[in-house]
Structure 1
Amino acid sequence: MSLQLLADFPLLSHNTFGFDARARYAMRIDSVDSAAALASDARIAGMPWLVLGGGSNIVLTRDFDGVALIVGIAGKRVIGEDGDAWLVEAGAGENWHEFVAWTLAQGMPGLENLALIPGTVGAAPIQNIGAYGLEMGERFERLHAVELATGEAVEFDRATCAFGYRDSFFKRDGRGRFMITSVVFRLPKAWTPRADYADVARALDHATARDARAIFDAVIAVRRAKLPDWTKLGNAGSFFKNPVVSAQAFDALKSRVPNVVSYAQADGTVKLAAGWLIDQCGWKGRGIGGAAVHERQALVLVNRGGATGAQVLELAEAIKRDVLARFGVELEMEPVCL
């Protein structure tokens, strides 16, 4: 199989920050066979790879001197069920939000809290995306991938994906080694709503029902009210993870900052609200060059126009320094920086 090799490829429309970077080459991957064929393509032998879905979790600080692999593997289907759940598979190139909407249209709830998260289905396991009380890993069954160096098909279950908070094997040890081609989700037949987050609960107060569709609509309304549309104002969603600290560290922090926003975790640790920490340091609405902190949500960094990836990283490092100096808490960035 011979794939078209595109030279000097613009990545402007393939990253949600809207950085005007370019790749030395690019290839569009629309099938498992085309992904497997990469390993034997002499034209790109020895070149580094950059796997791109929607580009919603990447900061491009420079041009990429290698091959950008644009994943467009499509398709979604119900592949089975048992007494407890439906098994649904989607191609890695499917739009995540549209896939969530499709599952609800099929009468299979379970992903509604993850509505309107930008990106593709294939990117979801890498970040273990999560929002409003649900992480993707809770609905995950298995995924299929291709090892880029060999072209071999590989299957990963939940254990081998090693999901963590906005983390996975693919974001760490597997980065650049595998291309995810499809993901299988397990959607429970005994559906239980998750609507405890205050913003979602308030949005549901105006709804006539509290079913999965109502939660889906409420999450969309909340996200649109709080977060900028990346098609109009470049961003990568939440830029920092909410830091998780030990109970001892939290007690020490709370003694100094009684009003610190926090969420107790089941394992005894405490999650802090990164956006609140950033806001308290006075960063909301401020920026460096075209890169800025969003004026409504301090957790989101935006491209106000003409920003570079280097400026976004400079801004992020300045924020991290201020939060560490004031609260003794170290923030960790969510996006992958290249």
Structure 2
Amino acid sequence: MKLLPHAPLNDLNTLGLAARADWLVTLEQPDEFAALRCDPRWAGLPRLVLGGGSNVLFTCDFAGLVLLNRLRGITVTDEGESWLLHVAAGENWHHLVCHALEQGMPGLENLALIPGCVGAAPVQNIGAYGVELARFCAYVDTLRWADGESERIAAADCRFGYRDSIFKHEYQESHLITAVGLRLPKAWQPVRGYGPLAALGEQPTPQAIFDTVCATRMAKLPDPARLGNAGSFFKNPVVPTALAERLRSDYPTMPSYPAGEGQVKLAAGWLIEQCGLKGFSIGQAAVHQEQALVLVNCGGASAHELLTLAAHVRDTVGARFGVRLEHEVRFMGATGETTLDEVMA
């Protein structure tokens, strides 16, 4: 277990924002958790678990303990009709997708190139191109901060929703995710109803889907190593069918998708683009030129500039379409998670 006081976080968040934590601890083995939770230095301090830092915006310095989850390991069990992958939380998500495909275990290819670590996947219930993590999740293994005991949480108890789970609510502070179980059926069926995947034909190969997803994401989304960003900044809004129909009468080409009884999912990026905000900037923070759903750090942007830009985008879309955008990126204040409304109040 590695320990660093007054630690810089600039290189630990893909937005590249300057921030520090009172303490930074790197967890590499599960048995290090006992010593970590019993150390009196952390008693009463706020905690934040970081994986790849690809979905977090530090609004200021963090006055507590940041825990880097670097647990590693992948084991595979043949269950007959499916493969069960037990994956440690610190594994890179995209590397897992590649590994599974290379080993003849398809299913995750629609989720290729999503940044971050495996442990963050159930928190957000990550999803792309018609597939969400919940489709394959069998369980989530955790350690409880209160007593140090392990707890396996079945997928049915994770309360998965659109970019949501129990780990963003009741279990956010109480449980540390150590591994995720993924069940991939051997009777693979392609999911090809979204975007460019529909052009692949009736029976595309898993590799063809993987290649198309990667090419599409690389063409639209900037590389965080070159241009600081956290991927999709806003969630695609889910609105009542009546509102979607009113908007469609004014904007016939507006993309929309069924989202359950009486609800429709709209494309946040399209709404932002229609407001003419592509390339709009405040200081060194900007709406990406190619993908309006992504806010970028052009170099040296402050948290205030990014937050002000996010508020402007949200308010502009709300004024034009009557649709309120919610940020998908997690905002971290001095003592824990916060929201755009709270920060800008």
Please, what TM-score do these two structures have when normalized by structure 1?
0.94
From 105, 116, 132, the equivalent of 1:119 is 116
Report the count of equivalent residues: 331
Query: Which residue matches 1:181?
Result: 178
1:60 maps to what in 2? Answer: 58
Report the Cα offset of residue 215 of structure 1: 1.0
Which secondary structure state, in structure 2, belongs to the residue aligned with residue 337 of structure 1? Answer: strand
What residue ranges of structure 2 are gaps of 5+ in the alignment? 333-345
- The answer on 1:290 being equivalent to 2:284 is yes
What displacement does 1:330 show? 0.5
Is 2:13 the counterpart of 1:19?
A: no
Contact 2:83-2:185 within 8 A present in 1 as well: yes
Q: Which whole-Å CA distance do the structure 1 matches of 2:170 and 2:306 have between them? A: 25
Indicate whether 1:168 and 2:161 are aligned.
no
**What residue number does 2:104 align with?**
107
Shift of 1:92: 0.4
Q: Which runs of structure 2 are paired with 1:84-163 in the superposition (5 Å)? A: 84-163=81-160
2:330 equivalent to 1:332 = no
- Deviation of the 1:157 alpha carbon: 1.0
CA distance in 1, matches of 2:212, 2:6: 42
2:2 and 2:27 in contact (8 A); partners too: no
Q: Distance in 2 between matches of 1:153 and 1:95?
A: 22
1:198-213 residue pairs with structure 2 within 5 A? 198-202=195-199, 204=200, 210-213=204-207
Contact map agreement 1:36 1:152 (CA 8 A) in 2:
no
Q: What is the root-mean-square deviation of aligned Cα atoms in Å?
A: 1.5
Worse-superposed segment, 254-263 or 323-332 = 254-263
Contact 1:16 1:235 in 2 (8 A): yes
1:268, distance to aligned residue in structure 2 (A): 4.0
Return the alpha-carbon distance in structure 2 between the equivalents of residues 9 and 215 of structure 1: 41
Deviation at 1:266, TM superposition (A): 4.5
In structure 2, the CA distance between the partners of 1:269 and 1:156, relative to structure 1 (3 Å rule), is same
Say if 1:161 and 1:168, in contact at 8 Å, map to a contact too: yes
Shift of 1:47: 1.0
Unaligned runs of 5+ in 1: none
Q: Is the 8 Å Cα contact of residues 242 and 331 (structure 1) preserved in structure 2?
A: yes
Partner of 1:247: 241
3-state SS of 2:305 partner: helix
- Find the aligned partners of 1:321 and 1:41 in 2 and give their Cα distance: 45
Opposite residue 15 of structure 1, the aligned amino acid is N
| Percentage of matched positions with identical amino acids | 52
Amino acid at match of 1:99: L
Output the amino acid matched with 2:268: A
- Check if 1:225 corresponds to 2:219: yes
Q: Could you tell me how far 1:312 is from its partner in structure 2?
A: 1.2
Q: 2: CA distance between counterparts of 1:198 and 1:337?
A: 29
Task: Supply the AA of the counterpart residue of 1:247.
Answer: T
Kept in 1, the 8 Å contact 2:239–2:264? The answer is yes
Segments of 4+ moved more than 6 angstroms: none
